[in-house]
């Protein structure tokens, strides 16, 4: 048997765009991709690979054996980490997706005999499967067909695991993906403070700067019904605590509030739920809207994306997250929580383009405490049912609102907020601050 690799650069169209605001010129783009293509060719040719087809930044390579194809794929991912540090002149990392399949030697000869001009239109089952593996491969990883996985030496089996997703056209409809992934230098600042075994559980972040994920008019807090009508991945916080990690276990109430939100939306069979530390949660992020639940103190995804979500996030320094919310707008910066504007149980709700896929959206709901998260979740519950509730609550209008700071609301009377701790659910909230996509803010709590 021979090996086939189908490889492509993730969202290469965006990487090829000139972005003068960020200092990215056409010369920088051209040099970066020339160096990438040289690296790709050399890495694969060193292990006997020959390029059968090139379309744009996508390639199909043939290898003497399936093992050669797998080894070349692993080596390329290692080389890409060094490339992104030393030769990538863009402000975004280059990530690839690699599909690896096998083909009978006789069939390989048939494929090789196809004239170059006709290869882009040529159909073959092995080529089709390799293409499906690449397109459904988790970002920055390798996807193997079941046949190749079972042909590998036992020593290699520990490098791969079954994928959470399935594919039409594959026997058994499942495949295997690589377990580990390389942390690119453009991501390191986001992940700083996490132990290595938690870093590699977070999916690659191809858009690690706020300017790349600023929402457009189709992504804001008044359009959450649309958010939930699409394919959605809910990422809940940690269920355990690692001694060396800054991330602690999450409140059970975080999940309770989200369950009530999901009960409000129309029936959606495309909703999936994962825990931040589950390895296969990362398989789903690239083609879904992401609902991130829990603060940077309890969720490793939230920890990694915290500083990226510029308008509102938690205070974070030297790898530690603090119980302080930082809210930034054209009007300046406000601080909420026990060390800022009260109350202690403040929370945030923010939406943006997804850092994993700009064509999808991210919604982050997180409180300093579990009661804060309940309040934020209640706001989301209201917005799904009635988008104008935000304007009513703040008694003002914000065009394209993208973020809020909220707190639990307890009617005056017999009970105090402290009486609710671990006893009752939070059913109402008050909005302390809100901002739109252009940085205009309203702060009712200071009026």
Domain limits of the chain? 2-182, 191-446
Q: How far apart are the first and last CA of the chain?
A: 73
**Tokens representing residue 159 in the block:** 């490098």
Question: Residues with Cβ < 8 Å from 89, sequence gap 6 or more?
Answer: 24, 28, 29, 31, 32
Structure confidence by residue, pLDDT tens digits, 82-92: 999 999 999 99
Rg from Cα positions in the chain: 24
- 399 pLDDT band, cuts 50/70/90, is confident
pLDDT > 90: percent of the chain: 61
Strands 175-178 and 142-145: antiparallel
Q: Are 357 and 285 in contact (CB under 8 A)?
A: yes
Torsion of CA 296, 299, 304, 306, to 10 degrees: -30
CATH T-level fold of 2-182: Alpha-Beta Plaits (3.30.70)
Instruction: Report which of residues 5 and 370 the model is more confident about.
Output: 5
Structure confidence by residue, pLDDT tens digits, 26-57: 999 999 999 999 999 999 999 999 999 999 99
Whether the per-residue pLDDT at 265 is higher than 60: the answer is: yes
Q: pTM for this one?
A: 0.91
């Amino acid at each position: 048997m021979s090996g086939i690799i189908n490889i492509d650069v993730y969202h290469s169209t965006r990487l090829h765009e000139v972005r003068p605001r960020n200092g990215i010129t056409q010369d920088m783009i051209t040099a970066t991709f020339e160096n990438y293509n040289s690296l790709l060719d050399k890495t694969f040719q060193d292990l006997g690979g020959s390029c059968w087809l090139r379309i744009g930044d996508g390639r199909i390579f043939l290898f003497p054996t399936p093992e050669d194809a797998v080894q070349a794929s692993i080596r390329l991912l290692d080389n890409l980490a060094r490339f992104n540090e030393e030769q990538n002149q863009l402000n975004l990392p280059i990530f690839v997706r690699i599909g690896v399949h096998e083909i009978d030697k006789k069939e390989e000869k048939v494929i090789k005999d196809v004239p170059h001009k006709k290869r882009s239109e040529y159909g073959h089952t092995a080529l089709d499967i390799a293409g499906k593996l690449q397109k459904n491969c988790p970002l920055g990883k390798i996807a193997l067909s079941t046949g190749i996985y079972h042909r590998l030496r036992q020593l290699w089996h520990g490098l791969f695991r079954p994928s959470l997703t399935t594919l039409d056209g594959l026997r058994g409809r499942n495949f295997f993906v690589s377990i580990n992934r390389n942390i690119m230098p453009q991501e390191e600042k986001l992940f700083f403070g996490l132990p290595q075994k938690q870093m590699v559980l977070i999916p690659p972040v191809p858009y690690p700067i706020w300017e790349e994920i600023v929402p457009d008019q189709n992504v804001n807090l008044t359009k959450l019904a649309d958010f939930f009508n699409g394919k959605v991945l809910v990422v809940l916080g940690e269920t355990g605590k690692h001694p060396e990690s800054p991330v602690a276990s999450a409140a059970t109430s975080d999940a309770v509030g989200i369950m009530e939100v999901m009960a409000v939306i129309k029936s959606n069979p495309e909703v999936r739920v994962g825990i931040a530390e589950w390895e296969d949660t990362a398989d789903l992020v690239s083609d879904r809207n992401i609902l991130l639940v829990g603060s940077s103190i309890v969720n490793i995804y939230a920890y990694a994306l915290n500083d990226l979500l510029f308008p509102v996030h938690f205070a974070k320094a030297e790898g530690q997250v603090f119980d302080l919310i930082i809210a930034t707008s054209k009007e300046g910066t406000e601080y909420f929580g026990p060390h800022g504007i009260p109350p202690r149980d403040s929370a945030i709700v923010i939406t943006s383009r997804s850092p994993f896929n700009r064509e999808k959206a991210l919604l982050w709901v997180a409180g300093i405490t579990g009661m804060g998260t309940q309040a934020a979740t209640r706001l989301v519950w209201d917005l799904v049912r009635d988008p104008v509730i935000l304007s009513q609550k703040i008694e003002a209008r914000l065009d394209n609102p993208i973020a809020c700071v909220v707190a639990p609301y307890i009617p005056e009377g017999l009970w105090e907020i402290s009486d609710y701790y671990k006893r009752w659910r939070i059913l109402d909230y008050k909005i302390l601050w809100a901002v739109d996509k252009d940085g205009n803010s309203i702060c009712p709590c200071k009026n």
